[in-house]
Amino acid sequence: MNNYDSNQIVVDMKGITQKFGTLVANDNVDLTVHRGEVHALLGENGAGKTTLVNSLYGLYHPTSGEIFINGEKVIMDDPNVAIQHGIGMVHQHFMLVKPFTVVENIILGLETHKHGVLDMKKAKDQVIALSERYGLTIDPDACIQDITVGMQQRVEILKALYRGADILILDEPTAVLTPQEILDLIQIIDNLTKQGKTIIIITHKLKEITDVADFCTIIRRGKKIDTVRVADVSEADLASKMVGREVSFKVEKSKAAPSDIVLEIKDLHVKDNRDIPALRGLKLTVRKGEILGIAGVDGNGQNELEEVLIGVRKAESGSMTVNGTDLLGKSPREILDHKVSTIPQDRQKRGLVMDYSVAENIILENYKKEPFSKKGWLNFEAIRNYARKLVTEFDIRPNDEDYRAGSLSGGNQQKVIIAREISNNPDLLIAVQPTRGLDVGAIEYVHKALIAQRDKGKAVLLISFELDEVINVSDRIGVIYEGQIVGELKAEGADENEIGLMMAGGGKK
Amino acid sequence: MSEKKKLTDSPVWITMISISFGLIFGAIILLIIGYNPLTAFTVILKGIFSKPKYISWTVIYATPIILTGLSVAFAFKTGLFNIGAEGQYIVGAITAALAGYFISLPPILHIPLVLILSIGAGAFWGSISGYLKAKYEVNEVISTIMLNWVALYLNNFIVLHDKVKREGSEATNKVLDSAQLIFANTWKTSEAGISWRKVHPFFGDILRTPANGGFLIAVGAAIVVLIILNKTTLGYSLKAVGINREAAEFGGINVPSNIVSAMAISGGLAGLAGAVQVLGFTREASALAASEGYGFEGITVALIGANNPIGCVLAGLLYGAMKYGGSKIQPAIGAPYEIISIIMGMIVLFISMPKLIKTLKLKKKEDK
Amino acid sequence: MILQSIAFILGTTLMYATPLIYTSLGGTISENSGVVNIGLEGIMFMGAFIGAAVGFYTHSGWIGFLAAGVVGGLFGLLHAVACITFTADQVVSGIAINFLGPGFALLLCRLTFDGAAMTVPLPLDEKISRPLNGLFEQNSFFDMIFNRYSTVYLAFILVFLMWFLLYKTRLGLRIRAVGEHPEAAATLGINVYKIRYFSVIMSGVLSGFGGAAMSIAIVSQFRVTLISGQGFIALAAMIFGRWKPQGAMWACLLFGLANGIVIFMPRTGLDISSQLLSMLPYVLTLILLVVFVGKAIAPSADGEIYEKH
């Protein structure tokens, strides 16, 4: 962007340490940002990026360390203090009141009023003026629940600007955007920095950093690793600094040997919770011995596809057969009985009963079967023995089948689910966002497990928002856009740009 | 579970502290309004333990609320908040009063039949809320509150019906002897009974009260609940749905039918409470001007008993003792009986705020 | 004659809707801020006693009414401390209040009225005033409908004020924001705790008024069975009114009408059970909840514990 002034330091965080109990989320981290700069914070999930900016925004109080804004030392003990010092934040999960209008959301907390009575006309005029000034077009009277995610993000940015923010923190702003919306966002960021605003952007996507950022601070396991001028480094440099070792983007695997069709979906139409079509004539097939990866931006029907496949959402029309049996509209139990297993996208909400032990979670799908129970009575010895075997086989740590599932690390929780699903010996394994929030070691483990299933001659369907993951793990790629598969291609030698274009609807025939 | 918890974090400890705080609070109130709390508590304790018949009365007072407590605790364990034990109790009671009077069978058949019908009625009443939650996502807290009042007016409608009402009363006819649960009810007033009671002062004294089989039924129900929750596939799936509905659904468990089952079992327990109270104590159902409070007391019992079935038996006995022993402070020293409601309310309030108790504990540590 | 009957029913409707309106407005403000308050019943109970007792000793219905509001507010504060500061389960805390309200009311009643569980009735001239008395010819159509105690008019004024507060003022916008998405409000520098404290205390004040409107206007004394369930009907009315003050008001009028018909029925000689009619509000509320299935009508964060990091 190159709109920055290297003589003017606006944010200077020194020696920030943040402890939550025994966990050290930030360990002596420094961050220096200049006026008009786009500064990226790069790190893996859980590295401590969000914790750092939350301290800057006054949501957390650092255990130790100092924060200077425009050279003045500030105790950030409340978002109000941050707002007063010109800091605005756009959270990863938008902080919008859904039944409120755009204007109401923007003015909330800083309302235009006369003696406590709202002056909505004045508010609307101010919001419109602001949106025109920064080129952020919005409909001021629309309710948040009725507008797109991209629009909601604009409302979030306007909220910060309305409060006179000069420093904007964007937490993973592109995670939910389409490629086109990402381009719009980049344009908006450029506009803002030209008018002297400073942007701190949190991301773990390397390409975005090279596209928009002037500087990049890399954080790993709570520690600052380095701050670099983006123009001076390559993506590979950034990646190795992020994960702490040379990263091979390639996943080792042999060539696929696909045979009979296992899953066949034809002309599938499904509505979402708001009764809007989410899948519109989706069509795909997965064969024995292959991994089909579904690439796409979040919100293009992946969630509904997962739910239909599992049997918890009704379809409007279409067919879905597994080994020739139509399973559309069948219950989750029946689908499971047809040798379909799923690693769901949200392991804590959908995968595990957190207050149950590892052993109890392992028998979740089979507790009614022998030897785990007989005529309604549980057989605890059989359950424990079986669970202990899987705990050892899948290297779940701690090595204790009585451990509470909710107390395991994310990676080990995922292992419990994988152990349970794979030990069902399914013909079709569906994995949705299987590596979300996992560290590098765990990601590798999951990828290897999926490939091992393929090599055993199973059909594997991988649905992921991480394009790299889809390209590296799959044999074949289907691109989902607005509830349809808009393109199919071989994973080997696939062109990321071509897929990116399709993900944005560009490849639609 | 191998996560070692400190004793001070356990619910038992929090319960104990809450009970103590509640009693201390009650003592302070008594002091403020001019009564000696030590005298008052002595009266209560003597009123509970000093005679065999007092102990028997305590148990009689405790019986229905142990069962409504179990009802609420069972629902809690399956992730549901059953505020409707009150209404389920009422339908159980009226069913028992009707079946106990209009059906005539030998006791060996009559009692079990009446109990089963009452359990069924309570289960039906509970399963309405379960069905509304499973099918229409109606919050069970709200639906059970509404159904409590529907049950109350339904009860009055039935009780006051010409064919049901006992002449000159606002209650049903007394249940037949073949359906009642009171120990030796006719024998104890016979000549042989009276002379036996003279020779056996302890049991004789107990027989002066309507001592009945209800408590044994309540303890039996607690054991059944314990077994269902911990040893059976039904308990496994009910708890799984309670802890994480979505994960259970993804794991192939039929969530709606589990929610309905959970509310039905919970309602059945409350219905049983109503039956036991009618067959063992009142022998009739009356028109109600206001709710009798067994359901709400059951919530208290479940909270004090930390949702553990055995805990509910103990908590029910505690509450029964407070109710019975507490009723004696008014005649003895003139202190208002309502102090018991205040103490129980404060205990519930403290149990609802584990954070307060933990904060106090931290403060204590810092002071050291 | 028919006109007379209609006037009688409408008049009783207004009378019986009034205590419900106060209390349901209390429920409305509390739940709009995200705090469930099923303790309304207990607070109403307390309000009924305080209103009647203070009214009796001060010889002024109005002082009794205000005192009921103040004491109701104290119970609201107790609920707020438990739910907001100490993150108690809101339903459990409400249940505790339903023990404490009647407990304290009866305890104090026995202490101040010679061990009786009811207060001494207020003389007619010390009750709340009837400002429109004499405006219409006695027992004429309009007199039977509109010649009511001041508490009736005040209730309707409060409905308007509550609507204005929630939808037209800065504070109202914040109350609703806190009830929908407390984290969002907090990131904008709004003090979630303060807003919730205010709303829950107000719900206590209004429920206290509701109880007093029963004990010193509709009747002239407090007794044990006076409130029995009205707090829960008010809760139902708030839900029926979809968490909006004007909606709650209409629901209270509907429930009041049911009551009016129950009282009128014996005059008609028709054999419709008053017990079945009394069930109506509760059954209607259940049906409404089913009809609006899946539509999020309660504030999103209603009943959820909010904790600052």
CA distance B81 to B36: 38
CB–CB contact A108 C185 (8 Å): yes
Q: What is the mean pLDDT of residues B111-123?
A: 98
Cis peptide before A398 (omega within 30 of 0): yes
Where are the domain boundaries for CATH 3.40.50.300 in chain A? 5-243, 252-339+427-440+453-509
**What is the distance in angstroms between the Cα of B253 and the nearest Cα belonging to chain C?**
22
pLDDT averaged over every residue in chain C: 91
Nearest CA in chain A to C171: A116
CATH code where residue C106 lies: 1.10.3470
**What is the distance in angstroms between the Cα of B56 and the nearest Cα belonging to chain C?**
26
Look up residue C144 and give its two tokens. 């039977």
Look up residue A159 and give its two tokens. 């909220």
Contact A414, A447 (CB under 8 A): no
Q: Residue A438: pLDDT above 80?
A: no
Q: Each residue of B197-217: pLDDT tens digit? A: 889 888 888 888 999 999 999
In the prediction, which pLDDT does C4 show?
86
Q: pLDDT class for A508, splitting at 50, 70, 90? A: very low
Tell me which DSSP letter residue A367 carries. Answer: T
CB–CB contact C107 B338 (8 Å): yes
Q: Each residue of B38-67: pLDDT tens digit? A: 999 999 999 999 999 999 999 999 999 999
In the prediction, which pLDDT does B280 show?
95
How many distinct structural domains can be found in chain B?
A: 1
Contact C103, C243 (CB under 8 A): no
Cβ-in-10-Å burial (0-12, 13-18, 19+) of A132 comes to exposed
pLDDT averaged over every residue in chain B: 92
**What is the distance in angstroms between the Cα of B348 and the nearest Cα belonging to chain C?**
6
CA distances from B165 to B99, B122, B155, B161, C137 (A): 14, 22, 11, 6, 45
Helices B294-304, B11-32: inter-axial angle, 10-degree rounding: 120
Q: In terms of DSSP bridges, do strands A223-229 and A215-220 run parallel, antiparallel, or are they unpaired?
A: antiparallel
Q: Residue B362: pLDDT above 80?
A: no
CA distance C56 to B280: 44
Q: Does domain A252-339+427-440+453-509 have CATH number 3.90.110.10?
A: no
- pLDDT-wise least confident of A110-119, B98-107, C121-130: C121-130
Displacement of CA A149 from its chain's centroid (Å): 14
CB–CB contact B250 A342 (8 Å): yes
In the prediction, which pLDDT does B364 show?
65
For every residue of B185-242, DSSP letters joined together read TTGGGSHHHHHHHHH-HHHHHHTTTT-BTHHHHHHHHHHHHHHHHHHBHHHHHHHHHH
The answer to whether position B35 is within a domain reads no
- pLDDT-wise least confident of A207-216, A343-352, B174-183, C127-136: C127-136
Mutate to test the interface with A, among B232, B236, B255, B265 (most CBs of A within 10 A): B236
B to C CB pairs, distance under 8 Å: 142
Look up residue A455 and give its two tokens. 């090599």
Q: Residue A206: pLDDT above 90?
A: no
Q: pLDDT class for A465, splitting at 50, 70, 90? A: confident
Nearest CA in chain C to A105: C177
CB–CB contact B137 C293 (8 Å): yes
pLDDT averaged over every residue in chain A: 90
CB–CB contact B234 A376 (8 Å): yes
Residue A317 phi/psi, 5-degree rounding, is -160, 175
Q: Residue C252: pLDDT above 90?
A: yes
Query: How many residues belong to chain A?
Result: 509
The answer to whether position C305 is within a domain reads no
How many distinct structural domains can be found in chain C?
A: 1
In the prediction, which pLDDT does C285 show?
85
Q: pTM for the full model?
A: 0.88
Nearest CA in chain B to A347: B247
In the prediction, which pLDDT does B8 show?
40
The answer to whether position B222 is within a domain reads yes
Look up residue A282 and give its two tokens. 């989706």
The residue ranking higher by pLDDT, A250 or B78, is B78
CB–CB contact C82 B81 (8 Å): no
Q: What is the mean pLDDT of residues A167-188?
A: 84
Our CA angle for C147, C153, C155, nearest 5°, is: 140
CA distance C264 to C8: 8
Residues of A with CB under 8 A from a CB of C: 54, 57, 59-60, 78-80, 83, 89, 91, 95-100, 104, 108-111, 113, 116-118, 159
CB–CB contact A95 C180 (8 Å): no
CA distance A421 to A418: 5
Nearest CA in chain B to C293: B136
In percent, how much of chain A has pLDDT > 70?
A: 97
CB–CB contact C189 A83 (8 Å): yes
Q: pLDDT class for B9, splitting at 50, 70, 90? A: very low
CA distance A262 to A340: 10
Residues in chain A with CB shorter than 8 Å from the CB of C171 are 116
> Which chains touch A (3+ CB pairs under 8 A)?
B, C
CB–CB contact B149 C279 (8 Å): yes
The answer to whether position C306 is within a domain reads no
Q: pLDDT class for B123, splitting at 50, 70, 90? A: very high
The answer to whether position B34 is within a domain reads no
B264 contact C CB<8A: no
Q: What is the mean pLDDT of residues B78-88?
A: 95
The answer to whether position B110 is within a domain reads yes
CA distances from A332 to A77, A370, C43 (A): 48, 20, 47
What part of B 2-41 touches A (C-beta under 8 Å)?
2-3
Q: Residue A62: pLDDT above 60?
A: yes
In the prediction, which pLDDT does A246 show?
57
Mutate to test the interface with B, among C95, C99, C273, C308 (most CBs of B within 10 A): C99
Q: What was the ipTM of the complex prediction?
A: 0.91
Residues in chain A with CB shorter than 8 Å from the CB of B236 are 360, 367, 373, 378
Q: What is the mean pLDDT of residues A482-501?
A: 87
- pLDDT-wise least confident of A180-194, A316-330, A490-504: A490-504
Q: Residue B7: pLDDT above 60?
A: no
Q: Residue C296: pLDDT above 70?
A: no
- pLDDT-wise least confident of B177-191, B211-225, C9-23: B177-191
The answer to whether position C67 is within a domain reads yes
- Option in B142, B148, B359 nearest C239 (CB): B142
Q: Each residue of B275-330: pLDDT tens digit? A: 999 999 999 999 998 888 999 999 999 999 999 999 999 999 999 999 999 999 99
CB–CB contact A376 B233 (8 Å): yes
- Option in B1, B249, B250 nearest A402 (CB): B1
CB–CB contact B341 C99 (8 Å): yes
CB–CB contact A109 C189 (8 Å): yes
Q: Which of A418, A420, A407 lies closest to A443 in space, CA to CA?
A: A418
Q: What is the mean pLDDT of residues C227-235?
A: 90
In the prediction, which pLDDT does A241 show?
82
B333 contact C CB<8A: no
- pLDDT-wise least confident of A212-221, A384-393, C210-219, C297-306: C297-306
Q: Is A477 helix (H, G, I), strand (E, B) or coil?
A: strand
Q: Residue A159: pLDDT above 60?
A: yes
Q: What is the mean pLDDT of residues C51-61?
A: 95
**What is the distance in angstroms between the Cα of C242 and the nearest Cα belonging to chain A?**
14
Owning domain of residue C221: 2-292
In the prediction, which pLDDT does B5 show?
38
Q: What is the mean pLDDT of residues A286-305?
A: 92
Q: In terms of DSSP bridges, do strands A476-481 and A291-295 run parallel, antiparallel, or are they unpaired?
A: parallel
CB–CB contact C286 B132 (8 Å): yes
CATH code where residue B298 lies: 1.10.3470
**What is the distance in angstroms between the Cα of A383 and the nearest Cα belonging to chain C?**
35
Superfamily of domain A5-243: P-loop containing nucleotide triphosphate hydrolases (3.40.50.300)
CB–CB contact A403 B233 (8 Å): no
Q: What is the mean pLDDT of residues C221-229?
A: 91
**What is the distance in angstroms between the Cα of C47 and the nearest Cα belonging to chain B?**
16
In the prediction, which pLDDT does A203 show?
82
Q: Residue A507: pLDDT above 60?
A: no
Residues in chain A with CB shorter than 8 Å from the CB of C169 are 113, 116-118
The answer to whether position C302 is within a domain reads no
**What is the distance in angstroms between the Cα of C110 and the nearest Cα belonging to chain B?**
7
Q: Each residue of C271-295: pLDDT tens digit? A: 778 888 888 888 988 998 888 765 6
